[in-house]
Amino acid sequence: MMSDRLPLVAILRGLPASDAKAVGQALFDSGFAIVEVPLNRPGALVAIRTLAAIAPPGAMIGGGTVLDVASVDAVHAAGGRLVVAPNCDPAVIAHAVARGMFCAPGVGTASEAFAALDCGAQALKLFPAEVWRPAGLKALRSVLPEATPLWPVGGITPQTLSEWLAAGADGFGLGSALYRPGDAAAVVAARARAFVDAWHAARTASG
Sheet order of strands, 124-126 included: 106-107, 124-126, 150-152
pLDDT tens string 30-54: 999 999 999 999 999 999 999 999 9
The one-letter amino acid code at 138 reads: K
Q: 69-77 vs 44-54: helix axis angle to the nearest 10?
A: 40
Query: What CATH class is the domain 8-205?
Result: alpha beta
Is residue 80 a contact partner of residue 48, using CB atoms and an 8 Å limit? yes
pLDDT at 69 over 80: yes
Contacts of 18 (CB under 8 A, 6+ apart): none
Q: What is the mean pLDDT of the chain?
A: 96
CA dist 152 and 71 (Å) reads 23
Chain segment 172-203, per-residue pLDDT in tens: 999 999 999 999 999 999 999 999 999 999 98
Run of H or E including 62: strand 60-64
Domain extents for the chain? 8-205
Active-site residue list: 36, 125
Residue 204 has pLDDT above 60, yes or no: yes
pLDDT for 95 beyond 70: yes
Q: Of the candidates 9, 54, 13, which has an alpha carbon nearest to the alpha carbon of residue 35?
A: 9
Q: What is the pLDDT of residues 104-146, one digit of tens each?
A: 999 999 999 999 999 999 999 999 999 999 999 999 999 999 9
DSSP state, residue 187? H
